[in-house]
Structure 1
Amino acid sequence: MFASFCRRRLLLHIRKISGGGGTNPLQSIPGAIHLAHTSSLTAVSSAPNSELCPATVSYLISCGLSPAAAATAATTQKTRILSTDKADDVRALLRDYGFTDADIVRTLRRAAKLLTADPERVLRPKLAFFASLGFEPRKLAHSPSLLGRSLDKHLVPSIQFLRDTIGTDDQLRVAFHRKPRALTADLDNNMRPAVEALRRGGLAEAAISKLLVIDLGVLMLSPDRISKIFEDLKEIGACTADSRFVYCFDAMCAVKRETWLRKLSLYTSFGLSEGEVFNAFKTQPRILNLADENIEKKVRFLLDELKLGIHDIMSRPVILCYSLDKCILPRCAVLSVLMREGKIQRDVKLPQALLGNSRVFSTKYVFKHADKVPDVVKAYEGKIKFEGFGCNR
């Protein structure tokens, strides 16, 4: 009976759209148009054991999902909306707790089944709980499966464990906002074993708290993986007592060991020793997480265009983490203009001049000279391109 109801809903939807003379948004849904000429539902190839419910797809489209996304959500999540009134109540409840239309679309792409949940008995207590912690709706929308987890058996005990481990609700909130998905980890099978592994590796409680605020996703690593990261960091001389150790650990979490070895080989190909690369990594761990092409492009620019030495570059490895197009090139353009106008010396030390946050650079090199050299503003905004220092250097 429900299949027949779904079929009728889709037929009406198709006829309504066709009558309007526009492009049918259901054309991209496998089997949807075929329903207009057949008496049975068409199975979707991506979910061979599930039937595509046109009424559900139609409702999801009305929520803002694309036809393809609606079909995927309806089939892969085996969603059947039996009551549009209840689904409407769920959406209204989400809005009451601060979800925007974009947040709701993002939520339904990942967890369309929430539309079938009891809004008052099931969803409201969880939304109220997250709201009491200050967790932003837009972050919950990135991991909406949390709204399907048990409040008493998973959410409350997990939050209590994290509160005890991290220290304060403010830090807990920061940690969650950075990696919402980590809260889906099982308390006894993932969270506790991960924290115990960090303790066995030699991290103090304060360092564990800091690490989890930086990357709550560490709780999703296996104890064996955590132990291996400690071993690799020990091999390169990283010390757990160093305040930068947790950043090194976080960087290593994001790459496989073979990736780390490939990055090491790439950096040494520029003439560096392994020891220099290790020291640069310990100073600025993020150089490990840059794409190979990104590393190659920046180093080649700094070597070939700015004539810096590789050892000078790696003594200040943070420069590799700056965007070439959005930061380094505009700053070089500004310095080039100032050299041309005689406002700064031609032998200015580029690494020091290029480094620093945007406020410091703009104050020292842009705003200070903007009245007499208007081109510095254009250069900083990217309207004057950097074409090399030429004879300015």
Structure 2
Amino acid sequence: MFASICRRRLLGTHQILGSGGGTDPLRIILGTFPFTHTYSSSAVADVPNSEPCPATVSYLISCGLSPAGAAVTATSKKIRILSTDNADAVRSLLRDHGFDDDDIVRTVRSAPTILLADPERVILPKIQFFASLGFEPRKLATAPLLLTRSLDEHLVPSIQFLRGVIGSEDDLRLGFCRAPRALLADVEENMRPVVEALRRCGFTDAAISELLVTQMGMLLTSPDRISEVFEQLKAIGMCISDPRFMHCFREMCRLKKDAWLRKLALYQSFGLSESEVLEIFKAQPMILQFGNKNMEKKVRFLLDELKLGTSVIIAHPEILCSGLNECILPRCAVLCVLMREGKIQGGIEMVEALLVDSSVFSERYVLSHADDVPDVVKAYEGEIRFEGFR
């Protein structure tokens, strides 16, 4: 009954959204859904001690968690499932709205307390709210606590604020799709202070809109960190008018200061000077997205196995953004097979072969030799591993 009423009211909301009238559809949505956070006490209760409840662990395993993961979740989140009826209803509701098994595992692992929520009174209105805005409900699996946040006190004010900053509904949806967790930020405690900090740094409203669309998670960054990053970029010779500034600023804001210093130290350990590392960062700021162990393994391979030298990396920093297992190793395996069969010479321009577009590499080194050297296909698909050039 409730679901049918919500569907009828949502239909009216969609009509208003598309009508171009002056009425704010969010105000109509506010009158549509109940906002209480009612939880089913018969479904879940606080765990009185640190020992996980066997029945709770068993249920979490049935949700797709590993036995060890289920035990850790039950203990760390301090929940005890006394009745599975409510929890089953929650899972069923999520599936009905596009959540697949992996989404449910992700949801339950990060926010098992969602199994407490009344599916009809608490979860369904939030799913329908996001759907009415054109947001894909299953994206909420990465930030499931949004399904228990108050519509009138949190979600609607957040959307209204972001509309005023971002402007375009399509851009708002795109930003949400990239970082749903950003909507966990509070308007007055997080969102507004972040936007004000960006303005103090000199970002225009258009630049702030672009920044939030590409990285809405910025709303969870502290204003102090934003100012600190801005000053760090100025200190290394970058100004806000530099086309690279936005990209560098965005990537640095993902890191805490000590993490940034550890990355600088890592690159210097390869024999690069601090100024060389900073030039690489300016040219290819995405290198900050890779974990230190991942990057160390990649650079060591380039230096020790391929003998490229640091000067090559400085000249072609984009090579650091290529996946070692996904791109570099399969290509090296192909080249190794072709050298063994005498199809190419050892003096091949290695960097060009590693950086060329995948379709070009496939045509030039795989498809053109597939008939007379079938092993190139196996090498490209990972069936023949690269074991070094001999």
CA contact (8 A) 1:210 1:246 kept: no
Given the alignment, which residue of 45, 49, 54 partners 1:44? 49
Q: 1:193 to 1:340 in 2, by over 3 A?
A: same
The reply to whether residue 143 of structure 1 matches residue 127 of structure 2 is no
Of 108-117 and 155-164, deviating more is 108-117
1:126-165 equivalences under 5 Å are 126-165=126-165
Structure 1's unaligned 5+ residue stretches are: 10-40, 47-51
TM-score calculated relative to the size of structure 2: 0.77
Of 312-321 and 59-68, deviating more is 59-68
CA contact (8 A) 1:79 1:113 kept: yes
CA contact (8 A) 1:263 1:288 kept: yes
Partners in 2 of 1:80 and 1:336 — Cα distance? 57
Partners in 2 of 1:145 and 1:119 — Cα distance? 13
Q: 1:44 to 1:294 in 2, by over 3 A?
A: same
Deviations 1:312-353 (A, max 9, x none): 212111212222233212212222333344444543221122
1:229 corresponds to: 229
Amino acid of the residue matched to residue 310 of structure 2? I
Deviations 1:255-279 (A, max 9, x none): 3323333332333344433322211
Q: 1:43 to 1:221 in 2, by over 3 A?
A: same
Deviation at 1:191, TM superposition (A): 0.7
1:223-372 equivalences under 5 Å are 223-372=223-372
Q: 1:137 to 1:312 in 2, by over 3 A?
A: same
Q: 1:65 to 1:326 in 2, by over 3 A?
A: closer
CA contact (8 A) 2:233 2:249 kept: yes
Q: 1:359 to 1:133 in 2, by over 3 A?
A: farther
Q: 1:360 to 1:77 in 2, by over 3 A?
A: same
2:183 corresponds to: 183
Q: 1:388 to 1:162 in 2, by over 3 A?
A: same
Deviations 1:83-117 (A, max 9, x none): 76555443333232222344334333444444443
Other structure's SS at 1:243 match: coil
2:210 corresponds to: 210
Other structure's SS at 2:208 match: helix
1:91 corresponds to: 91
CA contact (8 A) 2:50 2:75 kept: no
Amino acid of the residue matched to residue 45 of structure 1? S
Partners in 1 of 2:225 and 2:190 — Cα distance? 12
Partners in 2 of 1:93 and 1:351 — Cα distance? 51
CA contact (8 A) 1:272 1:311 kept: no
Partners in 2 of 1:125 and 1:209 — Cα distance? 28
Percent of pairs with identical residues: 65
Amino acid of the residue matched to residue 100 of structure 1? D
Deviation at 1:212, TM superposition (A): 2.0
2:384 corresponds to: 384
Deviations 1:114-160 (A, max 9, x none): 44434333332211111223433432122111111111221112122
Partners in 2 of 1:323 and 1:295 — Cα distance? 9
CA contact (8 A) 1:313 1:351 kept: no
Partners in 1 of 2:328 and 2:205 — Cα distance? 38
**Larger Rg: 1 or 2?**
1
Of 365-374 and 62-71, deviating more is 62-71
CA contact (8 A) 1:142 1:181 kept: yes
Q: 1:355 to 1:115 in 2, by over 3 A?
A: same
Partners in 1 of 2:56 and 2:240 — Cα distance? 53
Deviations 1:138-187 (A, max 9, x none): 32122111111111221112122223323433333333233222210111
Partners in 1 of 2:82 and 2:389 — Cα distance? 68
Amino acid of the residue matched to residue 143 of structure 2? S
Other structure's SS at 2:370 match: coil
1:63-142 equivalences under 5 Å are 63=63, 86-142=86-142
Deviations 1:50-101 (A, max 9, x none): xx77776676565555666666666665657687655544333323222234
Q: 1:365 to 1:165 in 2, by over 3 A?
A: farther
Q: 1:316 to 1:167 in 2, by over 3 A?
A: farther
Superposition RMSD in Å: 3.3
Q: For this pair of structures, how many residues does the alignment match?
A: 348
CA contact (8 A) 2:47 2:78 kept: no
Q: 1:357 to 1:163 in 2, by over 3 A?
A: farther
Deviation at 1:221, TM superposition (A): 1.1
Structure 2's unaligned 5+ residue stretches are: 1-40
CA contact (8 A) 2:47 2:79 kept: no
